[in-house]
């Protein structure tokens, strides 16, 4: 099995700039079987035993399709932006080309592959072979091409030392093309149109458009900015966490506007396990072949490490998913800026040197300005993206920003007296902290088996990401649970780990066990419960912990009818008494009695049972 890498190739194979992930467009899925329509394995190959990120890049989420300002608004979010980490069980290559992935388990979200959706798998690479790692090249994403790309997915089990940048700048949704050459009066009422050299193209977003009659004009395409209308309207900025800016009005539009609308805001849908690429900016409309294209949004960076550090002397070091700036136009409309993308960082700590500061950013790109004295259409600024930390906001030589792109100037005045809108919302509102990613633990098995007078409890994990501890719980009826014990988890691991506990005083009859998995940030998951049958006639007591310092619990057969349990010292004196109500166990507080050896004596009618216990302070 190949060593998993949320990040990289061997250092000697890395060029100055490295694409380190493999990508595959999934065209169909049935349970755990994924059909691969096309793939790019330049950065890494898909192999059995490896992890992938399965991500819903686009989905059938369009709301209104009316020819008005509501066109391209958000309906139901469906599964857009959802992602999950899964393991490959096997795969098929046809004539050497990847054609099928079979996963060890089916995805838990309802992934879609319809005509308006795009689902992709990205290799989830472990850098450094499970230990510390220092980068040897800048890490970049493959450009999103409408089917795959746009994501950097990197993990280091130990310390990640950044000597180079990790970037998904401009790898996200594509910008719309400028309208090259036409003339006409100011059109403020067309919001969707076919390609007809009258309107500029919309930017791309989380809905995959297949209707040729919706490609152009000023309505947004969800988080993609709208294209400019006649005459010389600018392109709207792309959106992500915040909306993109509305473009400049165009030539001779008076108080009306032919500029494209900004892409919609997605802040209400964003979480650690649902993130989006930045929307593309809309194109500018022109009649002198001087309009400019809308620009790409930022892609997605998924980064997991035990800690992230920098050292030595450096400059310009960054983790970024910024949208791109649109180019300046002549006496036509300018394109909109791309929206910032999304960054998810799960790390326990940061240690950044003052001589090698780090910038983390998912900011919108600027709209293009117009180089003409008359008012035309500057491009709208791209909305800001999102940066999500599993921990508190890191400080100390780290700058974190999600800034809206600026709107372009509608003319060549200085200072500008007519400006397209910037991305919407308050700068840096897209910085989120204290939220975990999609997978704390991958549990392979959980078993509870009676062995002699105890129950052996074992479990195996295949991977652990940010895991804190495991708690074993027991129930007499499958509804009411108590915690027996807990074990610390590994935190980060991509090799199988084996855990074991013993229940030295199991309940008589049928009882149930389950495992509670707790992540570092407090999130948790429960395993399925496992029934265990113990012989009901056991005339034996079990006590734990033994020796005890604060409290001692004694297990008895719950078939006994209201037995009395006395704690007796070596002089025959009763120092504690408890009455059982058929729960199968009782607990003594021993903090107030002297250190020594005692007998726990159970009586019910003429039946008795005893166990020796020790108290130590």
**CA neighbor of 277 nearest in space, from 369, 232, 368, 340:** 340
More confident residue, 474 or 582: 474
The pLDDT score that the predictor gives to residue 521 is 59
The pLDDT score that the predictor gives to residue 127 is 86
Q: In the predicted model, what is the mean pLDDT of the chain? A: 88
Average pLDDT over residues 322-333: 97
The pLDDT score that the predictor gives to residue 539 is 52
Q: Read out DSSP for 140-184?
A: EPPPP-SSS--EEEEEEEEEEE-SS-EE-TT-SSPPPPPB-S---
The pLDDT score that the predictor gives to residue 318 is 97
The pLDDT score that the predictor gives to residue 73 is 97
- CB count within 10 Å of CB 255 equals 6
Question: Is the pLDDT assigned to residue 569 strictly greater than 70?
Answer: yes
Cα separation, 220 vs 69, in Å, equals: 8
Cα separation, 534 vs 147, in Å, equals: 56
Question: Is the pLDDT assigned to residue 540 strictly greater than 70?
Answer: no
Question: Is the pLDDT assigned to residue 345 strictly greater than 50?
Answer: yes
Interacting residues of 560 by C-beta distance below 8 A, sequence separation 6+: 580, 582, 602, 604, 607
Q: With cut-offs at 50, 70 and 90, classify the pLDDT of residue 452.
A: low
For residue 478, give both structure tokens. Answer: 């499958």
The predicted-structure confidence for 219-233, as pLDDT tens digits, reads as follows 999 999 999 999 999
Question: Is the pLDDT assigned to residue 14 strictly greater than 50?
Answer: no
| Sole residue written with tokens 């049972």 | 609
The pLDDT score that the predictor gives to residue 478 is 82
- CB count within 10 Å of CB 114 equals 13
The pLDDT score that the predictor gives to residue 213 is 96
Question: Is the pLDDT assigned to residue 453 strictly greater than 50?
Answer: yes
Contact 556, 541 (CB under 8 A): yes
Q: With cut-offs at 50, 70 and 90, classify the pLDDT of residue 210.
A: very high
What's this model's pTM, rounded to 2 decimal places?
0.73
Q: With cut-offs at 50, 70 and 90, classify the pLDDT of residue 460.
A: confident
Cα separation, 391 vs 471, in Å, equals: 23
Q: With cut-offs at 50, 70 and 90, classify the pLDDT of residue 370.
A: very high
Contact 416, 395 (CB under 8 A): no
Interacting residues of 491 by C-beta distance below 8 A, sequence separation 6+: 306, 348, 464, 466, 467, 468, 520
Question: Is the pLDDT assigned to residue 82 strictly greater than 80?
Answer: yes
Cα separation, 326 vs 408, in Å, equals: 9
Burial grade of 375 (CB within 10 A; 0-12, 13-18, 19 or more): buried
Cα separation, 17 vs 140, in Å, equals: 7
**CA neighbor of 25 nearest in space, from 1, 41, 9:** 41
The pLDDT score that the predictor gives to residue 114 is 95
Q: With cut-offs at 50, 70 and 90, classify the pLDDT of residue 48.
A: very high
Domains of the chain from N-terminus onward: 125-438 (no CATH), 441-534 (2.60.40.10), 542-615 (2.60.40.3080)
Provide the β-strand partners of residue 518. 469, 524
The pLDDT score that the predictor gives to residue 603 is 77
Question: Is the pLDDT assigned to residue 15 strictly greater than 60?
Answer: no
Question: Is the pLDDT assigned to residue 13 strictly greater than 50?
Answer: no
Question: Is the pLDDT assigned to residue 495 strictly greater than 70?
Answer: no
The number of angstroms, rounded, from the C-alpha of 377 to the middle of its chain's C-alpha atoms is 37
**CA neighbor of 258 nearest in space, from 179, 325, 327, 196:** 179
**CA neighbor of 82 nearest in space, from 221, 226, 266:** 266
The pLDDT score that the predictor gives to residue 140 is 97
Average pLDDT over residues 94-101: 96
Ranges 11-15, 311-315, 374-378, 524-528, most confident: 374-378
The predicted-structure confidence for 228-271, as pLDDT tens digits, reads as follows 999 999 999 999 999 999 999 999 998 899 999 999 999 999 99
Region at 69 (left for phi over 0; alpha for psi -120 to 50; beta for the rest): alpha
More confident residue, 577 or 233: 233
What is the β-pairing status of strands 33-40 and 317-320? unpaired
Question: Is the pLDDT assigned to residue 538 strictly greater than 80?
Answer: no
Cα separation, 208 vs 78, in Å, equals: 13
CA distances for 139 relative to 266, 321, 364, angstroms = 27, 12, 20
- CB count within 10 Å of CB 302 equals 27
Q: Where are the beta strands (DSSP E) in 210-282?
A: none
Question: Is the pLDDT assigned to residue 209 strictly greater than 90?
Answer: yes
| Sole residue written with tokens 């755990």 | 32
Cα separation, 172 vs 42, in Å, equals: 19
Q: With cut-offs at 50, 70 and 90, classify the pLDDT of residue 10.
A: very low
| Sole residue written with tokens 């400028």 | 178
The pLDDT score that the predictor gives to residue 559 is 61
Lowest mean pLDDT among 56-60, 100-104, 162-166, 553-557: 553-557
Question: Is the pLDDT assigned to residue 440 strictly greater than 60?
Answer: no
The predicted-structure confidence for 268-304, as pLDDT tens digits, reads as follows 999 988 999 999 999 999 989 999 999 999 999 999 8
The pLDDT score that the predictor gives to residue 5 is 31
The pLDDT score that the predictor gives to residue 302 is 95
| Per-residue b or e along 214-247, where b marks 16 or more CB atoms closer than 10 Å to that residue's CB | bbbbbbbbbbbbbbbbbbbbbbbbbbbbbbbbbb
More confident residue, 489 or 238: 238
Contact 221, 354 (CB under 8 A): no
Question: Is the pLDDT assigned to residue 152 strictly greater than 90?
Answer: yes
Q: With cut-offs at 50, 70 and 90, classify the pLDDT of residue 513.
A: very high
């Amino acid at each position: 099995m190949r060593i998993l890498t949320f990040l990289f190739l061997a250092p000697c194979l890395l060029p100055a700039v490295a694409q380190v992930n493999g990508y595959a467009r999934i065209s169909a899925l049935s349970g755990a079987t994924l059909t691969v329509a096309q793939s790019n394995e330049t950065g890494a190959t898909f192999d059995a035993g490896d992890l992938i990120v399965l991500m819903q890049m686009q989905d059938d989420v369009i709301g209104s399709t009316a020819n008005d300002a509501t066109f391209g608004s958000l309906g139901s979010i469906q599964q857009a932006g959802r992602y999950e980490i899964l393991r490959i069980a096997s795969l098929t290559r046809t004539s050497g080309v990847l054609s099928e992935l079979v996963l060890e388990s089916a995805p838990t979200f309802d992934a879609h592959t319809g005509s308006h959706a795009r689902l992709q798998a990205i290799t989830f690479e472990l850098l450094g072979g499970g230990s510390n790692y220092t980068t040897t090249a800048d890490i970049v994403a493959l450009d999103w091409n409408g089917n795959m790309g746009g994501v950097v997915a990197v993990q280091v089990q130990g310390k990640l030392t950044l000597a180079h940048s990790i970037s998904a700048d401009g790898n996200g949704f594509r910008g719309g093309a400028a309208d090259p050459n036409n003339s006409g009066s100011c059109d403020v009422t067309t919001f969707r149109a076919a390609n007809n050299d009258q309107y500029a193209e919309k930017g791309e977003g989380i809905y995959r458009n297949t209707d040729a009659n919706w490609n152009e004009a000023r309505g947004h395409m969800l988080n993609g900015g709208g294209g400019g209308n006649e005459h010389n309207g600018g392109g709207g900025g792309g959106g992500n966490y915040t909306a993109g800016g509305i473009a400049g009005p165009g030539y001779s539009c008076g108080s009306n506007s032919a500029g494209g609308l900004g892409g919609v805001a997605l802040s209400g849908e964003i979480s650690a396990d649902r993130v989006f690429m930045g929307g593309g900016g809309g194109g500018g409309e022109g009649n002198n072949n001087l309009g400019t294209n809308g620009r790409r949004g930022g892609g997605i960076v998924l980064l997991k490490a035990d800690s992230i550090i920098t050292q030595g002397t450096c400059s310009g070091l960054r983790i970024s998913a910024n949208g791109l700036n649109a180019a300046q136009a002549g006496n036509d409309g300018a394109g909109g800026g791309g929206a910032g993308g999304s960054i998810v960082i799960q790390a326990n700590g940061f240690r950044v040197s003052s001589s090698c500061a780090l910038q983390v950013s998912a900011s919108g790109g600027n709209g293009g300005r117009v180089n003409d004295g008359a008012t035309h259409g500057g491009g709208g600024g791209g909305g800001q993206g999102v940066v999500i930390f599993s921990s508190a906001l890191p400080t100390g030589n780290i700058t974190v920003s999600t800034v809206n792109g600026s709107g372009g100037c509608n003319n060549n005045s200085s200072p500008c007296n007519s400006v397209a809108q910037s991305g919407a919302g308050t700068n840096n509102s897209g910085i989120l902290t204290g939220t975990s990613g999609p997978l704390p633990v991958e549990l392979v098995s959980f078993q509870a088996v009676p062995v002699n007078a105890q129950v052996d409890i074992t479990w195996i994990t295949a991977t652990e990401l940010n895991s804190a501890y495991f708690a074993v719980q027991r129930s007499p009826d499958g509804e009411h649970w108590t915690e027996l014990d807990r074990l610390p988890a590994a935190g980060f691991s991509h090799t199988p780990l084996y855990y074991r506990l013993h229940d030295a005083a199991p309940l008589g009859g049928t009882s149930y066990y389950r495992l509670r998995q707790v992540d570092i940030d407090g999130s948790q998951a429960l395993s399925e419960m496992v029934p265990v049958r113990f012989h009901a006639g056991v005339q034996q007591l079990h006590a734990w912990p033994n020796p005890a310092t604060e409290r001692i619990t004694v297990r008895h057969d719950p078939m006994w009818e209201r037995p009395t349990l006395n704690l007796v010292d070596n002089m025959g004196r009763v120092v504690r008494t408890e009455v059982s109500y058929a729960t199968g166990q009782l607990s003594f507080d021993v903090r107030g009695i002297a250190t020594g050896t005692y007998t726990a004596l159970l009586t019910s009618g003429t039946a008795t049972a005893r166990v020796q216990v020790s108290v130590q302070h």
